[in-house]
Structure 1
Amino acid sequence: MAQKSAPDSTRRSERSRRAIYDAALALVGEIGYSRTTIEGIAARAGVGKQTIYRWWTSKADVLLEAFLDLGEQAAEQAARADGADPGAEYAIPDTGDLAADLKYVLRATVDELLDPRFEAPSRALAAEGVVSEEIGRVFVARLLEPQLQLYVRRLRAAQEAGQVRPEVDPRIALELFVSPLAQRWLQRTAPISHEYTDTLVDYALNGLAPR
């Protein structure tokens, strides 16, 4: 008789983890963060509740990791669409035209923020980060700050090219276009669009005073 191979526990664990990610993101989008529970995620994913608690301590932890994974998948898909190496480190393009490069990445950010797959978990994590200091710290360290550092590196490159004044602090300068977008999106004070972010870049780079 042919011997049956032993079950691959690593593959089984990865399938379970992926199912949990999908379940957490789906439930938050369908019923909201406050009504999403570990029990609900487990039932939706077809796993035992203890399986989730073996890997995470709370639903916020599950959602954060699921959201980070979703972002990585989206980045890989975008890289493939652009013909780039999916495994390469993501960076803001440097075509030599700072305004065009910033508009490009901010337009992509608008598309992501308006994507139903991202919007509900993004808002849930942002809200939970205000309530929970620990979640907020992890959210900033693992998700927000790495993205902001991409802007820092691009602005420093522009400084080296003489396109930005050398005394400008890139970490402060990036807030001129990133913060207004985040505030408008979070507070829903007005729609966000490509035209809006293009205007933010123009205002930030050109200033408001007449020349």
Structure 2
Amino acid sequence: MVVADAVMEEAQPFHLAPPPRTGSVDRDVRKWAHALARDFVDPIRADRIRAVTSAASEDPATAERLYERFTQVQRTGLTDRLRVAAEAGEVRPDADFGAVADAILGSLMYWVTARRSDLSIESVDSLLDVLLRGLRAEPATGS
């Protein structure tokens, strides 16, 4: 818990900015996910992530604090960006944006906690290809 407390006290121990809003949801989500992936492959930050994950697994109060400080911020930023994209007709409005956020964040957590060495921008892009393809709004068809 000492490590979790120390990480909580840092001003910005991890990338916490929401996805940008440039007008291309694909580009914005990729830029955001790439920034997160760089945190997850950085040896010092990866060690911190594993340490706070371990602390969270031991204490529900610590888990809640860490969720509110980090995961919820990321999840909300992404789901908000996807809602804006839905309003603009870029993605399906009926998609489960929370599930998309969970898939991305959960995959990154898997890579770092399992100490997978294959996390890269390319592997993140492969995941995003599948998820973003499933989100695309269907083009209107003329009858």
Whether TM exceeds 0.5 here: the answer is: yes
> Is the CA contact 2:25–2:85 (under 8 Å) kept in the aligned structure 1?
yes
Structure 1 residue runs of 4+, over 3 Å off?
A: 68-71
Mean CA deviation greater in 177-186 or 91-100: 177-186
- Structure 1 counterpart SS, 2:12: helix
The residue type paired with residue 140 of structure 1 is Y
In 1, distance between residues paired with 2:123 and 2:95? 24
Matched, 1:103 2:43: no
In 2, distance between residues paired with 1:201 and 1:157? 18
Rg comparison, structure with higher value: 1
User: Deviation of residue 70 (structure 1)?
Assistant: 3.7
The match for 1:112 among 39, 59, 63 is 39
User: Deviation of residue 157 (structure 1)?
Assistant: 0.7
Q: Which residue does 2:95 correspond to in 1?
A: 168
In 2, distance between residues paired with 1:132 and 1:125? 11
In 1, distance between residues paired with 2:31 and 2:47? 24
User: Deviation of residue 73 (structure 1)?
Assistant: 6.4
Instruction: Give the root-mean-square deviation of aligned CA atoms.
Output: 2.1
The residue type paired with residue 98 of structure 1 is V
User: Deviation of residue 69 (structure 1)?
Assistant: 4.3
Structure 2: which 5+ residue stretches go unaligned?
135-143
In 2, distance between residues paired with 1:144 and 1:204? 19
Structure 1: which 5+ residue stretches go unaligned?
1-59, 76-88
- Structure 2 counterpart SS, 1:166: coil
Q: State the Cα deviation string for residues 162-197 of structure 1 (Å, max 9, x = none).
A: 111111222122223222222122113452000011
How many pairs are equivalent? 134
Change (3 A) 1:190 1:116: closer
User: Deviation of residue 136 (structure 1)?
Assistant: 1.1
Q: Which residue does 2:139 correspond to in 1?
A: none
> Is the CA contact 2:41–2:112 (under 8 Å) kept in the aligned structure 1?
no
Which structure has more relative contact order (CA 8 Å, sep 6+)? It is 2
Q: TM-score, normalised by structure 1?
A: 0.57
The match for 1:183 among 91, 110, 118 is 110
Q: TM-score, normalised by structure 2?
A: 0.81
> Is the CA contact 1:103–1:201 (under 8 Å) kept in the aligned structure 2?
yes
Q: Which residue does 1:54 correspond to in 2?
A: none
Q: Which residue does 2:84 correspond to in 1?
A: 157
